[in-house]
A = this chain, B = another copy of it.
């Protein structure tokens, strides 16, 4: 390309920090795809925190004089204040957050700013920033999960004794307490919450470009200052891998999956066909042409937004796949994926909390769904009754299959069949079977650990209340 051609295309003027050896500016197309400041400025807190620790350490080991360190720290505080106040002005040559902070620092404190990058590289710097960010991100999301769990506990404390069908294959299966269903979600979220942390207790700062540095840096000092247990053990691994990001986003995908399932249940429960629940006005939306509509958009988006998180996870794995060890620019694509996943999940947690905080259950419709004679939801009880009389489970299962057919033919519930039909299908039946054929019996005799009895529900809710209060 001739200079004239390049000028025509209008390369970005660039008297930046990195291009001293090159003639001319950067091609605008490269600049557009390469410049990450718009995305990674979100790391400003972590970047400045890392620079602070680095500067102090350089002072401690004698690479910088104490006065220089002080000037740098003061300058960094000013840069941080600008970001916090939203007054930071980025320049075209601020390729990323690291260059932007250093450039501004140098404007503010002069020559000392140019000395900060001693004994480090953007490669270890961004790895450190990211790890710090992931730590905070995990903490924020875990707190959001806790809020939803607490909301579920409160809801279950209020309405947990209501009875509804438990479904398998979306077919009514057995009676269950609403509180037991909500506790199911609390348990799932607990697993999710436990995973929302980073394994990264090792600090990459000081790995340099990837081979370490010739300066006598004290990596234990920076690691400790930034809250890590110790420095990473291998400089190459430190700059090459984004596994921490993939692991955390994989944990986010678990949480998002749980919320997507809650969303699916809310959509069903709020349908006229189920009619179990009604979302409040503030968490419902209307239709542009159907004045009667009350749409559970939030619940639908719980289902759909989970794909944003799994999509981000896919990108994080694929972006790293088959990259040779060492830093490659491909790794820059980590941050948009992490941020997208975090934003989607944070929105999901908020809206789940909002919906669960403004929902009414219709206990009558729920119980009616259980007692609907055509549902035969007590069939398991009849089979279990036989088994308790010494009949083998398979024989009991088959006999009750016959009972259901008989009841279906007559259009009645099992418990409305006359005893002689019972006996004709299995001679062990007697009149006490009707005692087992009650919703409340079905529910409250399930008292083994994890069963749906209302005493279980109550004791689990007490336990959760304590657990969550103690967090």
Contact = CB atoms under 8 A, between A and B. Distances in A.
Nearest to A334: B304
B181 A236 contact: yes
A380 B121 CA distance: 11
A114 to B, nearest CB: 4
A308 interface: yes
A449 B308 contact: no
Interface in A296-345: 296-298, 300-301, 303-308, 310-315, 317-333, 336-337
Contacts of A112: 392
A334 B265 CA distance: 21
A291 B403 contact: yes
Interface stretch (A41-49, A79-87, A272-280, A415-423): A272-280
B317 A257 contact: yes
A329 B263 CA distance: 12
B300 A328 contact: yes
A326 B283 CA distance: 21
B268 A453 contact: no
Contacts of A312: 311
Contacts of A166: 209-211, 236, 326
Q: Which 10 A-B pairs have the closest CB atoms?
A: A212-B451, A292-B376, A184-B236, A114-B394, A304-B330, A114-B392, A300-B329, A18-B286, A212-B446, A21-B401
Given A117-B393, A281-B24, A282-B25, A325 B265 contact: yes
Contact of A261 (B268, B324, B436): B324
Given A18-B288, A318-B307, A235 B452 contact: yes
A462 interface: no
Contacts of A389: none
Contact of A210 (B1, B174, B261, B291): B174
Given A184-B237, A261-B323, A282-B11, A174 B122 contact: no
A465 interface: no
Contact of A347 (B29, B172, B232, B380): B29
Contacts of A337: 311
6 contacts: A115-B394, A118-B387, A168-B295, A292-B375, A300-B329, A322-B322
A50 interface: no
Contact of A449 (B220, B324, B376, B384): B220
A243 B272 contact: no
Nearest to A249: B250
Most buried by B among A6, A211, A376, A392: A211
Nearest to A206: B448
A120 to B, nearest CB: 8
A433 interface: no
Interface residues of A, number: 206
A322 B236 contact: no
A400 interface: yes
Contacts of A199: 191, 194-195
A67 B385 CA distance: 22
A231 B300 contact: no
A233 B450 contact: yes
Interface in A346-401: 347-348, 350-351, 353-355, 357-358, 369, 372, 374-377, 379-384, 387-388, 392-395, 397-398, 400-401
Contact of A395 (B26, B114, B287): B114
A380 B21 contact: no
Interface string A123-151: 10000000000000000000000000000
B393 A115 contact: yes
Interface string A159-178: 00000001111111111100
Nearest to A276: B273
Contact of A169 (B115, B215, B233, B293): B293
B322 A311 contact: no
